[in-house]
A and B are shown apart, each in its own frame.
Chain A
Amino acid sequence: MISRRAFVKSAVAMAASAVSGRAGAAAVPEAPRMTSVVTQPPLAPSSGPDYRPVVTLNGWSLPFRMNNGWKEFHLVAEPVTRELAPGMKANLWGYNGTSPGPTIETVQGDKVRIYVTNKLPEHTAVHWHGVLLPAGMDGVGGVTQPHIPPGKTFVYEFETRESGSFMYHPHSDEMVQMAMGMMGMFVVHPRDPDFMRVDRDFVFMMSAYRIDPGASLPHVSEMTDFNLWTWNSRVFPGIDPMPVRRGDRVRLRMANLTMTNHPIHMHGHHFEVTGTDGGWVKESARWPESTSDVPVGVIRAIEFQADNPGDWPIHCHKSHHTMNAMGHGVRNFLGVKPKPALAKAVAKLAPGYMPMGSTGMAEMAEMAMPGPANTLPMMAGQGQFGPAEMGGMFSIIKIRENMSANDYRDPGGYDHPAGTVAHEVEDASAGKTSSEPASGAIEGAPPHGHEHHH
């Protein structure tokens, strides 16, 4: 049993260590900050080995500097304000001005030095999820290193061994800090740029929050009943589309730090899982999918050939995860006939009341009645043919001809070739059904056998 004192001493010597003193402070590179919520263009490396940079959905990549053969980054853990979609801001914790923090891009074999400054009110630590490194650099507060106290800067140093898709997140008061939105992607590019090469490489992290309607701070102790299912702390219609040039090979790296799995379904193409947070998947081990379940604490990198032009939704297939805040206790009012006298009576009690729900919930997306402050409608968004009626984990992959290689601007709605859109039938008789649909409520209690002798 090693004594605590000896343990602490050795931990300081061999683990992520505090930067102190003037010399230390002078050596720390500046920490860029970002306040924009739109997808930033890919950040091509200006020094060090070459790679094809990724595109972080509604996010950015962290600039670095080379210093004597070391690739140096500076992360600042701090409270941030994040717009989840226009009309709602959340008070979260993140890195360098955003939640999630910026994507860190390195190359296999890089000597990486990452400074972490803690501007949170409590201690923190950064764990490099999936990255193979010395134990003392693993970022587990108390276990592999001292926690980083508020106001202090620590430094992590390691050499990247394997290329792949990884992430970073706190391992110090982990439940609270992840529930507050602290996480980011950590990409290790292959040394050989032609290995696993793709034309477009999108990355995003999935996180979930429970923020009461009208409030702005997440419940950090929630375990199951989340009401905001986000990609990079954004919900539809706040999630940017992913523009793709027809013919491109596209990769999506999807990391899940929510507390449940997300079956991500993509329209218009089949894809394969080519990588996890454990590395690349051999070609012989892949199988085709149109939905890939992303479990908790896992990354799925999927790839497809963008050969089908159009606007193709990609979303979590749990229907509640493509909704924003909703009421799970709301009764079903389908089929309730409008009663003007009753509506008037309720409007007298609650001025402004209007009857809703008797035909379904779609009308709500169009009515736009005032809801609680800082709260998004359950479903929203507008497509070229009408309301999209979506929220949460939903985006659109927009595949177009004639885009330039590095163009990531939203190309607008897809211009469908003539005759390729579902449309109303002109001759109504063609759509006639042979029998009227059954109507009326089901009797609650079937008659007992002994009442009906046959």
Chain B
Amino acid sequence: MAQNRTAKLLQRPLSASAAVEVALLSNRGLQAAYNRLGVEDALRARESLPPNPTIAFSRVAGSLSSEIEAAVAADILALATLPARTEIADERFEAAKLEAAEATMRTGAEARRAWIRAVGAREKIRALEQAAKAAESAAKFADELGQTGAMNKLDQSRNQVFYAEVTTQLAGARQQALAERERLIRALGLWGSSLSFTLPDALPAPPAQPRELPAIEHEAVDRRLDLQVARKRLSVLAKSLGLTQSTRFVDLFELAARGKITRENVNGERVNFNDPGVGAVIEIPIFDLGETRLREAEQRWLESLNLLAEKAVNVRSQAREAYRNYRAAHEIARHQTREILPLYETITRESLRRYNAMLVDVFALIDSARRRMVATAAAIDAKRDFWLADVELQTAVIGGGRDPADKTASAAPASEAGGDQP
């Protein structure tokens, strides 16, 4: 069934979401995680698991919609949140679930990134081919003028070497595109006859309006997979410590907003947040620690609670950072396509008019056309970076880990990378 589905998806030019679906079905590393869970693949996982009762995040404007990998991961985690399962889960089964959910998110994000890079590299080749064509035309004209006696060896050589250099750049871009495609193939987990799949010629244009996410910190704290996992472990710990009488609940966002968590202020007054559109909250039970007879249990509980709060603080920071990067990338990409490229079109048109009036010769005309193609390639890079930032926004809010190739994201402690082993 999974193979049929994969084959069907690979028949048409692969879209980003189709790439994720293929990865969920075919990626071997992910299969291993599913096998440990006792299901064969993501589809089975979705079918065999009940719908998740708690991750019905309110559908409000300015919220990130769940992508397929997030839905699958949530379903897998839901096994632990079924009302029927009040007992402490078998530890191995629990670990397998977390691993599978995390691997699902990570695989989905990586498939998305690889798809964006592969398509962007493909699109860029076409622009650079045009630039090379321009340099080639200039070189040919230089050759002609050399034969008529209108151009000396020096200027001929300058034109030839320029063409040769542009050709080298083009070869590098082609090599890059092949490498990106291979990386995508690895992310998808494909081999053999499946490798003949095709990709679209170009990345979609960035949306006219970027996402407005005023409550992104709330959303990240409520939805991040690693925080959900940490909270689960906290409740498992509570049970194992014999903490059963919860006096009330505090939401995790509020917990992260507090100062040092000690026995006293955990029981402090609850703060109300008036952020509109924030529907779901992750609630942390607050126990009457008076019931524990063991000092050690109290300390362990507070330790875990502090670690969870620390994680939440870091998640908030990562969400802010990812959103800022996303907005900046959107602005840059739109600026390139809406301001810079139209100006280059005008420059080419005006250059042609000057050529027509014999104010400049064909070399100047070719040069302005070539510059436009180089600018087009730069705009394609900016568009690619926007979509990559879009993926990072998803992973910062929902999980799946950071882009290992991303140099711009500030380093966070490894233990805080979203989607790390909880």
Q: Do these two chains really belong together in a complex?
A: yes
Residues of chain A having any CB pair with chain B under 8 Å: 213-214, 325-327, 329-337, 339, 342, 345-346, 348-357, 361, 364, 367, 369-373, 375, 377-378, 441-442, 444
Cβ contact within 8 Å between A372 and B353: yes
Of the A-B pairs whose beta carbons lie under 8 Å apart in the complex, a sample of 12, sorted by A's number, is A336-B141, A336-B144, A345-B136, A346-B366, A348-B133, A349-B130, A350-B351, A353-B352, A357-B358, A361-B358, A372-B357, A441-B148
Given contacts A330-B360, A350-B365, A378-B357, A342 and B351 within 8 Å (CB-CB): no
- In the complex, what residue of chain A is closest to B360 when comparing beta carbons? A327
B344-359 residues with Cβ-Cβ distance < 8 A to A are 348, 350-359
Docked pose: A442 CA to B152 CA in angstroms: 12
Cβ contact within 8 Å between A345 and B133: yes
Q: A213-B359, A353-B352 are in contact. List 14 more A-B contacts (CB 8 A).
A: A213-B354, A330-B359, A331-B361, A333-B361, A342-B140, A342-B141, A345-B133, A349-B133, A350-B348, A350-B368, A352-B356, A364-B357, A370-B356, A378-B358
B236-286 residues with Cβ-Cβ distance < 8 A to A are none
CB-defined contacts of B360 to chain A, threshold 8 Å? 327, 329-330
Cβ contact within 8 Å between A330 and B358: yes
Residues of chain B having any CB pair with chain A under 8 Å: 130, 133-134, 136-137, 140-141, 144-145, 147-153, 348, 350-363, 365-366, 368-370, 373
Given contacts A346-B365, A353-B352, A372-B350, A364 and B358 within 8 Å (CB-CB): yes
**Which of the residues B136, B144, B145, B356 comes within 8 Å of A369, measured between beta carbons?**
B356
Cβ contact within 8 Å between A350 and B353: no
Distance (whole angstroms) from the CB of A286 to the closest CB of chain B: 42
Given contacts A332-B150, A349-B130, A349-B137, A327 and B361 within 8 Å (CB-CB): yes
Given contacts A352-B352, A364-B358, A346 and B148 within 8 Å (CB-CB): no
**Which of the residues B150, B361, B366 comes within 8 Å of A349, measured between beta carbons?**
B366
Distance (whole angstroms) from the CB of B299 to the closest CB of chain A: 73
Given contacts A345-B133, A349-B134, A335 and B148 within 8 Å (CB-CB): yes
Cβ contact within 8 Å between B133 and A441: no
Docked pose: A214 CA to B350 CA in angstroms: 9
CB-defined contacts of B362 to chain A, threshold 8 Å? 333, 346, 353, 355
Top 3 A-B residue pairs of the complex, sorted by shortest distance between their CB atoms: A371-B357, A369-B356, A349-B369
**Which of the residues A330, A334, A375 comes within 8 Å of B361, measured between beta carbons?**
A330
Cβ contact within 8 Å between A353 and B358: no
- In the complex, what residue of chain B is closest to A342 when comparing beta carbons? B140
- In the complex, what residue of chain B is closest to A365 when comparing beta carbons? B358
Docked pose: A373 CA to B152 CA in angstroms: 34
Cβ contact within 8 Å between A333 and B145: yes
- In the complex, what residue of chain B is closest to A354 when comparing beta carbons? B356
CB-defined contacts of B357 to chain A, threshold 8 Å? 213, 325, 364, 369, 371-372, 375, 377-378
- In the complex, what residue of chain A is closest to B140 when comparing beta carbons? A342
Docked pose: A327 CA to B355 CA in angstroms: 9
Docked pose: A288 CA to B72 CA in angstroms: 102
Distance (whole angstroms) from the CB of A316 to the closest CB of chain B: 20
Given contacts A339-B140, A352-B352, A441 and B359 within 8 Å (CB-CB): no
Cβ contact within 8 Å between A334 and B354: no
Cβ contact within 8 Å between A442 and B359: no
Cβ contact within 8 Å between B353 and A371: yes
Docked pose: A326 CA to B354 CA in angstroms: 9
CB-defined contacts of A325 to chain B, threshold 8 Å? 357, 359
- In the complex, what residue of chain A is closest to B130 when comparing beta carbons? A349
Docked pose: A221 CA to B288 CA in angstroms: 87
Cβ contact within 8 Å between B359 and A327: yes
- In the complex, what residue of chain A is closest to B133 when comparing beta carbons? A345
CB-defined contacts of A333 to chain B, threshold 8 Å? 145, 148, 150, 361-362
- In the complex, what residue of chain B is closest to A332 when comparing beta carbons? B150
Docked pose: A336 CA to B145 CA in angstroms: 7
Given contacts A349-B137, A350-B348, A353-B365, A326 and B358 within 8 Å (CB-CB): yes
Cβ contact within 8 Å between B351 and A356: no
Docked pose: A213 CA to B353 CA in angstroms: 10
- In the complex, what residue of chain B is closest to A378 when comparing beta carbons? B358
Distance (whole angstroms) from the CB of B184 to the closest CB of chain A: 30
Docked pose: A342 CA to B365 CA in angstroms: 14
CB-defined contacts of A364 to chain B, threshold 8 Å? 356-358
CB-defined contacts of B133 to chain A, threshold 8 Å? 345, 348-349
Cβ contact within 8 Å between B369 and A350: yes
Docked pose: A188 CA to B373 CA in angstroms: 63
CB-defined contacts of A335 to chain B, threshold 8 Å? 148, 150
- In the complex, what residue of chain B is closest to A351 when comparing beta carbons? B352
Cβ contact within 8 Å between A331 and B130: no
Distance (whole angstroms) from the CB of A341 to the closest CB of chain B: 9
Docked pose: A335 CA to B147 CA in angstroms: 9
CB-defined contacts of A352 to chain B, threshold 8 Å? 352, 356
Docked pose: A190 CA to B150 CA in angstroms: 57
Docked pose: A334 CA to B361 CA in angstroms: 12
Most A-side CB within 10 Å, residue of B350, B356, B357, B369 = B357
- In the complex, what residue of chain B is closest to A335 when comparing beta carbons? B148
Distance (whole angstroms) from the CB of A353 to the closest CB of chain B: 6
Distance (whole angstroms) from the CB of B324 to the closest CB of chain A: 38
Cβ contact within 8 Å between B356 and A327: no
